[in-house]
Structure 1
Amino acid sequence: MWGGEELDLDAYLARIGHSGELAPDLATLRSVHRANVETIPFENLDVALGRRIPLDVKSLQAKLVGRRRGGYCYEQNSLLAAALERIGFEVAGRGARNRSRGHADVVTPITHAVLVVTVDGEPWLADAGFGWQGPLEPVPLADGVRVEQDGWVFGVGVEAEGVHVLRALRPEGWTDLYAFAPHTLFPVDFELMNHYSSGHPRSRFLGQVVAHLPGATVRRALVRDGLTSVNVDGSRQERLVDAGQLVATLSEVFGIEPDEEEAAGLLRVHSGEV
């Protein structure tokens, strides 16, 4: 289903720094998920540059593994799905509505791709593509679940029609991150959402540079010209990133090394010329 047979699993594991035994069990799911999230940054640079975003395994491996770049949810979770499938997991896709922007009365479109992985008959949410706000490890899909991951706390609720909601606990209380129905999606569905997010005029990924990296102690997010760092205690630091600092910030903070052509294009986006 996810092209796991086409993946160079050893190269992927080396990219995320994962070593040790592999089996379709919870320990492996947790360790692979965390290694992916903490190593491969969330970023939209190719979208910002107006490039096509292919989701086939060979293209994803060439970009995220070979070129040591990052990607957004369709890329991240398609690659993770291929790796998990290759290891032997049962993996299904889901489509989520983003609620993280705080507009509870607004129905947002289904634009976020997540995974549900079944281990010993139990479903687990796996998501390496929600950027700085996402979980470090899989989250069990059961109503009322609360899990702590290095001080970051996540919860799951179930609403009408079996809709699951992923929530995060912050100093001001619980906040919804996203919600998804128990309807299986396939790679072709990820392709459709990817088409919207990479090219529709209303997509939030166009016209600005975005890079995120969740970490165990601090999470960092660059959106347009603002770099925000959020600590596990809820404190945060913010600073502006001007054109002269953009490429260095991408490299030093997120481990992204754009080539000269990409850097020139990103500076044009950053300055509002595109």
Structure 2
Amino acid sequence: MDHTGRGWDGETLDLAAYLGRISYEGDLAPTVRTLRALQWAHAEAIPFENLEAALGHPVPLDLGALQDKMVRGERGGYCYEHTLLFAAVLERLGFGVTGLAARVRMGSDKLRAATHALLLVEVPGDEGRWICDVGFGEGVTEPIELVHGAESARNGRRFRLERLTAQEWVLRSARGVPVDDDWLDLHAFTLDPHYSADYVVINHYISTHPNSPFVGRPVARRPDAEVLYGLTGTALTARRADGTVEERLLEPAEVPKALDEVFGIRLGPADTAALVTRLT
């Protein structure tokens, strides 16, 4: 067991329960093929959601709490929760795992704090280094090799990595029908290592500060084979690969049902009532 705080507690992971949660029965050898299959299964099964922060609850990041919530409790989480759970899985299977932090852009040039967590994964046998971004919530369902210009494309959703400087990389998303100059900057990151202790500090700001985009309103995302479903406040969206978006505004009382039926997120009675009250 790693007592230095530099590891991801993979040895304490309930691997069988996690694999059952994501309905994965494939190969577990630490290969690129396994990495791709695991990331897709994780993204499809475990939704992105911020409901603990939206309701004013603590967001613990220890592996035991993450497993209780996201694996046994069949809930989702946001970037720190997804990233730390997936890091433990990959470490347990024999991948090399380094935590990273990114500055969210979403098309803006404004310098923001590095508040997003993602992973740099090394595959044994010199099969390259890969960016795994399981917790961004924008449908990044495949690892992308850390090579300038590398792309991933699944179900019509395209992402590209580009090197901006000697230290900085950017992840971009194609907007609608692919054309060479129609890319949206999602976030920028460096390869400076980050650890669980770093994420705990950043998570405190994101889950409690009144200026955080995740405090006070529910946000959820879930990709399937054709559509990226989203919920922000009471706005329910379905975004297709061609860039078309269908949006419907829900009544506050309809939001818990949408969370259940669209995202697979089931709240208890007390949280359901609190969410409807907050939205009202």
Same fold per superposition (TM over 0.5): yes
Aligned length: 268
Checking the alignment, whether the CA contact within 8 Å between 1:161 and 1:181 is kept in structure 2 is no
Match 1:248 to one of 257, 266, 279:
257
Is 1:44 aligned to residue 50 of structure 2?
Answer: yes
Contact between 1:93 and 1:184, CA under 8 Å: does it hold in 2?
yes
- Scaled by the length of structure 2, the TM-score of the pair is 0.93
Partner of 2:117: 113
User: Secondary structure of the residue that 2:161 maps to in structure 1?
Assistant: strand
The one of 162, 174, 194 equivalent to 1:185 is 194
Task: Give, as a single letter, the amino acid of the residue that structure 1 aligns with 2:114.
Answer: I
What corresponds to 1:26 in structure 2? 32
Secondary structure, in 3 states, of the residue corresponding to 1:221?
strand
Which amino acid counterpart does residue 155 of structure 1 have in structure 2? R
Superposition deviation, residue 52 in structure 1: 1.0
- Cα distance per residue 1:215-253 (max 9 Å; x no partner): 221001100010111011211100001112111101000
> Within 2, Cα distance between the matches of 1:265 and 1:139?
39
**Structure 1: segments with no counterpart, 5+ residues:** none
SS of aligned partner of 2:85: helix
1:209–1:269 contact (8 Å) kept in structure 2 = no
State the Cα distance separating 1:48 from its structure 2 match.
Answer: 1.1
Whether 1:269 aligns to 2:278 is: yes
Cα deviation, residue 200, structure 1: 1.2
CA contact (8 A) 2:228 2:238 kept: yes
In structure 2, the residue matched to 1:66 is 72
Distance 1:161 1:269, change over 3 A: farther
Q: What letter corresponds to residue 273 of structure 2 in structure 1?
A: A
Matching residue of 1:55 = 61
Could you tell me whether the CA contact under 8 Å between 2:139 and 2:157 is conserved in 1?
no
Q: Is the 8 A contact 1:127 1:134 kept in 2?
A: no
Q: TM-score, normalised by structure 1?
A: 0.95
* Matched residue SS, 2:57: coil
Pair 1:82-2:91 in alignment: no
**Range moving further from structure 2, 168-177 or 197-206:** 168-177
CA RMSD in angstroms, aligned pairs only:
1.1
1:198–1:205: 8 Å Cα contact kept in structure 2?
yes
Q: Which residue of 1 aligns with 2:154?
A: 149
* In 1, Cα distance between equivalents of 2:67 and 2:91: 15
Residue 193 of structure 1, CA deviation: 1.1
Aligned position for 2:4: none
Corresponding residue number in structure 1 for 2:3 = none
Query: After TM superposition, which residue ranges in structure 1, 4 or more long, deviate above 3 angstroms?
Result: none
Q: Once the two structures are aligned, what percentage of the paired residues are identical? A: 43
Aligned residue for 1:93? 99
